[in-house]
C-alpha cells in the first residue's frame, strides 16, 4: 500500500491577523486538501501565546467560532516539533504516556502577518529542509515590509506612488519635525500604514493634519516602522492573484468596489462582507466582500496592470502564491505598484474560481509548486569542501 503524503497546515500564530489565518486554513486549505484524498492533512495551530498544537479537532471551525478553543487550550498539552533531518510532529497520545509522532512531507503555511507570512516560519522550514507552499524567506520578508518592497520595486523601475517612511522611535522623539517633513514631501490625502501588517490592519486615510496625527498613532501602535504615501488621484484599486514559480500565472484582475473614502480596510474586507462597498452590477461577493472580477477596465489598462503584477511577482522573487495590489490613475492611465501579499487571505480562491480553477485544483497546484521549488533547491550545492579545519 502506498503511504499517503503528510501535509501539515500551520495556522493561527502571534499576529494581528491570527483570526484571518484560522479561516484561511480551515476553509481554503485543509478542506480542499482533504478532498483530494491524496494527502493525510495535519492541522497545526499556533495559539496567540506561540504554543503549537497538533490535533484533528483543530480542523473544526466551530471550535474557534464558538470560543471553545480557549477551553481546549487549557486542557491540552502543546505539541512539539522535532527536526530530525526533516520535520516530525510530536504529541502525547494519552495512552500510558506514549508519544505520537507524524513525519511531515510538506508544510502548507496558512499564516498571515508577523511570524508567519514575513519569512520567519519559512526560515524555520528551510532549516528543517521541508518543502513548503508559498514564497521563500527573502521574498516573504521583502513583501511583508511595505517600505522594503517599495525600495526593491523602485530599484527595478516599477512605478510607485510618492512615499515617506520612518521608524516608530522617530515619531516618538520628534513628532512635529516629522509632520513638517511629511507636509513638505507629500500632499493630502495620504495613506498611513504599518510597514509589516497585512489584511489592511492599522491603515488609515488622512485628509488633514489632525487626521494624520491620529493615523500615525494608530499605525505606530501596530508596528515599529510606518509608511505614509500619497493617494493616487482618480484612483482605481486593483489586485492580481498570481501562482507559480519560474513561469507565474495570473488569475483575474480584481477591483474591490469601494470609494477612496471607504478604502478596503479590515472591517470592510472581513467583517462586513464588503457592505461598505458601493458596487454596481457585475460585482462578485467573494471572501473579501464585493469586488468586480474581472475588473472592468479598458483593454490596454487591464493588460498594463496584469503585466506589471507579473513583473512585480518576479522582481520580488515570489514563488508558489502571492497577490499583487496596484493603484491606477484612471485619467492618466498610469498603474502603480502598491504592495504584495505573500499569502492572500483565503488564497483568493474566489478569484481563482472565476478564472477557472477550483479550490481543490488550486491547492494541488500549490503543493506541486512547493515540491518543484524544493527539488530545484535540493539540486544546488550548499557545501564546499576545504581543508580549513585541518589547518586550524
Partner 1 sequence: MIKALKSMYNLNYPKALVYMLQASEYKIRPYIAWLHRTKDFQKVMHRRQLDFTRAARLLLWALRLGILLQLIGGILLIYFGIWHRLAGGVPFGVAAIISYPFTWAYLLVVPLLIGRALVEIPAEAQAGHQSQTAFASHPGKKIAVAGSYGKTTMKELLQTVLSQGLTVAATPANRNVVRSHAQFARRLSGNEDILIIEYGEGAPGDVARFARLTQPTHAVITGLAPAHLDRYKTLAAAGKDIFALANYLKGKNVFVHKDENVEPFLEKDYELFDVHGVLGWRVSDVKVSLEGTSFQLSKGAEHLKLNSGLIGAHQVDYLAFVAAFALKLGLSTEQVREGVAKTVPFEHRMQPYKLSGAWIIDDTYNGNLEGIRAGTRLLKTLPARRRKLYVTPGLVDQGEETAKVHHTIGALIKEADPDVVVLMKNSVAQYIQEGLQGYKGELIIEPDPLEFYTNLSQFVAEGDLVMMQNDWPDNYA
Q: In this chain, which of 165, 268, 291, 359 binds partner 1, going by CB under 8 A? A: 359
- Interacting stretch for partner 1, rule CB under 8 A, among 85-93, 181-189, 355-363, 381-389? 355-363
CB of 32 to partner 1, least distance (A): 5
CA dihedral 285, 287, 289, 291 (to 10 degrees): -60
Residue 130 Cα distances to 56, 109, 124, 375, 380, angstroms: 21, 12, 9, 11, 15
Residue range at the interface with partner 1 (CB under 8 A); choices 221-229, 308-316, 348-356, 373-381: 348-356
Q: Which lies closer to partner 1 via its Cβ, residue 31 or residue 213? A: 31
Q: Should residue 357 be labelled a site residue for partner 1 when binding is judged by CB under 8 A?
A: yes
Specify the pairing of strand 5-12 against strand 39-46.
Answer: parallel
Of 371, 255, 359, nearest in space to 306 by CA: 255
Q: Is 41 in the site for partner 1 (CB under 8 A)?
A: no
Interaction between residue 35 and partner 1 (CB under 8 A): yes
354 binds partner 1 (CB under 8 A): yes
- Binding of partner 1 at residue 356 (CB under 8 A)? yes
Residue-by-residue DSSP string for 212-279: HHHHHHHHHHH-SEEEEEEPPSSEEEEEEEEEESSS-EE---BEE---GGG---HIIIIISTTTT---
Q: Is 358 in the site for partner 1 (CB under 8 A)?
A: yes
32 binds partner 1 (CB under 8 A): yes
Which H or E run contains 62?
helix 61-65
Residue 39 interacts with partner 1 (CB under 8 A): yes or no: no
- In the list 235, 311, 360, 372, the residue contacting partner 1 (rule: CB under 8 A) is 360
* Nearest to partner 1 of 235, 360 (CB atom): 360
The length of the chain in residues reads: 392
Which residues contact partner 1 (rule: CB under 8 A)?
Answer: 31-32, 35, 352-361
Amino acid at each position: 500500500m502506498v503511504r499517503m503524503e503528510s501535509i501539515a497546515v500551520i495556522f493561527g500564530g502571534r499576529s494581528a491577523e491570527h483570526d484571518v489565518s484560522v479561516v484561511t486554513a480551515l476553509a481554503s486549505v485543509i478542506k480542499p486538501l482533504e478532498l483530494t484524498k491524496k494527502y493525510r492533512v495535519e492541522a497545526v495551530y499556533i495559539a496567540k501565546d506561540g504554543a503549537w498544537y497538533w490535533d484533528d479537532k483543530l480542523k473544526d471551525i466551530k471550535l474557534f467560532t464558538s470560543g471553545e478553543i480557549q477551553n481546549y487550550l487549557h486542557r491540552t498539552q502543546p505539541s512539539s516539533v522535532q527536526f530530525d533531518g526533516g520535520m516530525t510532529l510530536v504529541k502525547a497520545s494519552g495512552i500510558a504516556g506514549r508519544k505520537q509522532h507524524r513525519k511531515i512531507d510538506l508544510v502548507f503555511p496558512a499564516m498571515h502577518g508577523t511570524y508567519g507570512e514575513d519569512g520567519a516560519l519559512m526560515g524555520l522550514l528551510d532549516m528543517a529542509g521541508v518543502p513548503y507552499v508559498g514564497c521563500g524567506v527573502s521574498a516573504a520578508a521583502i513583501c511583508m515590509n511595505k517600505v522594503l518592497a517599495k525600495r526593491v520595486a523602485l530599484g527595478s523601475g516599477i512605478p510607485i506612488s510618492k512615499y515617506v517612511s520612518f521608524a516608530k522611535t522617530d515619531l516618538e522623539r520628534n513628532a512635529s519635525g516629522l509632520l513638517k517633513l511629511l507636509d513638505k514631501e507629500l500632499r493630502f490625502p495620504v495613506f498611513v500604514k504599518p510597514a509589516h501588517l497585512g489584511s489592511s490592519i492599522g491603515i488609515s486615510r488622512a485628509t488633514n493634519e489632525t487626521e494624520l496625527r491620529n493615523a500615525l498613532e494608530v499605525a505606530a501602535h501596530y508596528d515599529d516602522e510606518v509608511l505614509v504615501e500619497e493617494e493616487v488621484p482618480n484612483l482605481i484599486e486593483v489586485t492580481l492573484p498570481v501562482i507559480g514559480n519560474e513561469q507565474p500565472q495570473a488569475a483575474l484582475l480584481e477591483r474591490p468596489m469601494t470609494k477612496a473614502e471607504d478604502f478596503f480596510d479590515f472591517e470592510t474586507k472581513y467583517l462586513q462582507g464588503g457592505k461598505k462597498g458601493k458596487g454596481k452590477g457585475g460585482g462578485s461577493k467573494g471572501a473579501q466582500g464585493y469586488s468586480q472580477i474581472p475588473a472592468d477596465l479598458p483593454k490596454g489598462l487591464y493588460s498594463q496592470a496584469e503585466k506589471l503584477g507579473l513583473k512585480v511577482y518576479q522582481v520580488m522573487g515570489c514563488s508558489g502564491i502571492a497577490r499583487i495590489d496596484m493603484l491606477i490613475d484612471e485619467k492618466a492611465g498610469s498603474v502603480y505598484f502598491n504592495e504584495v501579499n505573500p499569502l492572500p487571505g483565503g488564497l483568493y480562491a474566489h478569484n481563482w474560481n472565476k478564472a477557472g480553477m477550483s479550490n481543490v485544483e488550486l491547492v494541488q497546484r500549490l503543493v506541486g509548486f512547493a515540491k518543484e521549488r524544493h527539488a530545484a533547491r535540493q539540486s544546488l550545492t550548499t557545501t564546499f569542501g576545504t581543508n580549513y579545519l585541518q589547518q586550524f
